[in-house]
């Protein structure tokens, strides 16, 4: 009888623990994912994205276009804006002015391609590893939104820029050993940086762990 009572107690405890675990799982699943509202609402006017990397942090330099085009495509796909100026146009103007040793002002750069608003992205860091061996792709940039016509900063209102961070997670170590994989990894990091910048301008699910957005 004593053994039977012990077995029944064990069984009852197991059922209770199982019920608690199931309830926890159900509760977790039922909890809605956290949402992040747009930090700034863009007006539907002629807009262009310019990625500035005067310190040559990103290699190769075409990754600037990867970031800018990702921001542009995301804003168009999400229907935040109905039309945007190609990043290639503004990069071409910038390259031309840099060639003569006189970088153009942001409002003049926007005017040169017929933009009313300029989303200015300044690269601060871009690295695939922090020790030369371990894959840890991380990038940061500062973002400003500029009204080209009035020469005023629209976003952020209370600071010079907004710091955005992006990374690539769960990377296999071998990806740093092959040239082709390194190139793909750099492009993936650039895409993720563009994605993070675009998300400043529309509401989205942040996920259980949140987004990598921090005030500078």
Answer yes or no: are the C-beta atoms of 113 and 72 closer than 8 Å.
no
Q: Are residues 26 and 43 both part of a single domain?
A: no
Domain hosting 134: range is 35-214
Q: Are residues 104 and 180 both part of a single domain?
A: yes
φ, ψ of residue 84 in degrees (nearest 5): -140, 155
Backbone CA torsion sign across 191, 130, 165, 31: positive
Q: Are residues 2 and 106 both part of a single domain?
A: no
Instruction: Give the model's pLDDT for residue 93.
Output: 92
Q: Are residues 27 and 111 both part of a single domain?
A: no
DSSP class per residue in 135-171: EEEEEEEEEEEEETTTTEEEE-TTSS-EEEEEE--S-
Answer yes or no: are the C-beta atoms of 148 and 107 closer than 8 Å.
yes
The radius of gyration of the chain from alpha carbons, rounded to an integer in Å, stands at 24
Q: Are residues 101 and 187 both part of a single domain?
A: yes
Total tally of structural domains belonging to the chain: 2
Question: Exposure of 134 by Cβ count < 10 A (0-12 exposed, 13-18 middle, 19+ buried)?
Answer: exposed
| CA–CA distances in Å: residue 130 to residues 97, 134, 139, 164 | 34, 7, 11, 19
Q: Are residues 39 and 131 both part of a single domain?
A: yes
Q: Are residues 76 and 18 both part of a single domain?
A: no
Q: What is the pLDDT along the chain (216 residues), one digit of tens a residue?
A: 455 555 444 455 444 545 545 544 444 445 567 888 999 999 999 999 999 998 999 989 999 999 999 999 999 999 999 999 999 999 999 988 776 667 788 899 999 999 999 999 999 999 998 877 788 899 999 999 999 999 999 999 887 899 999 999 888 777 777 788 889 999 999 999 999 999 999 998 886 544 444 434
Spatial CB neighbours of 45, under 8 Å, sequence gap ≥ 6: 116, 117
Answer yes or no: are the C-beta atoms of 170 and 188 closer than 8 Å.
no
CATH number, domain with residue 132: 3.40.50
Instruction: Give the model's pLDDT for residue 3.
Output: 57
Answer yes or no: are the C-beta atoms of 143 and 213 closer than 8 Å.
no
Instruction: Give the model's pLDDT for residue 99.
Output: 65
- What is the three-class DSSP state of 214? strand
Q: Are residues 193 and 89 both part of a single domain?
A: yes
pLDDT tens, position by position, 30-67: 556 788 899 999 999 999 999 999 899 998 999 999 99
Backbone CA torsion sign across 70, 73, 79, 83: positive
Q: What's the pTM?
A: 0.79
Instruction: Give the model's pLDDT for residue 212.
Output: 45
18-49 exposure pattern, b = at least 16 Cβ within 10 A, e = fewer: eeeeeeeeeeeeeeeeeebeeeeebeeebbbb
């Amino acid at each position: 009888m004593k053994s039977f009572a012990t077995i029944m107690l064990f069984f009852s405890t197991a059922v209770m623990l199982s019920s608690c675990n199931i309830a926890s799982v159900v509760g977790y699943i039922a909890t809605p994912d956290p949402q992040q509202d747009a930090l700034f609402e863009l007006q539907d006017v002629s807009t262009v994205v310019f990625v500035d990397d005067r310190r040559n942090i990103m290699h190769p330099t075409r990754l600037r276009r990867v970031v800018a085009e990702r921001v542009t495509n995301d804003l168009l796909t999400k229907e935040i804006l109905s039309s945007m100026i190609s990043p290639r146009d503004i990069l071409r103007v910038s390259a031309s002015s840099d060639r003569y040793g006189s970088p153009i002002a942001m409002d003049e750069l926007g005017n040169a391609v017929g933009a009313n608003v300029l989303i200015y992205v300044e690269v601060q860091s871009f690295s695939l590893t922090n020790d030369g061996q371990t894959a840890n792709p991380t990038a940061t940039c500062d973002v400003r939104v500029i009204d080209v016509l009035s020469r005023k900063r629209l976003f952020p209102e209370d600071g010079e820029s907004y710091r955005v961070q992006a990374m690539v997670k769960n990377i296999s170590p071998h990806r740093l050993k092959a040239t082709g994989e390194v190139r793909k990894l750099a492009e993936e990091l650039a895409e993720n940086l563009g994605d993070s910048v675009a998300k400043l301008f529309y509401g989205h699910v942040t996920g259980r762990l949140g987004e990598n957005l921090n005030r500078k």
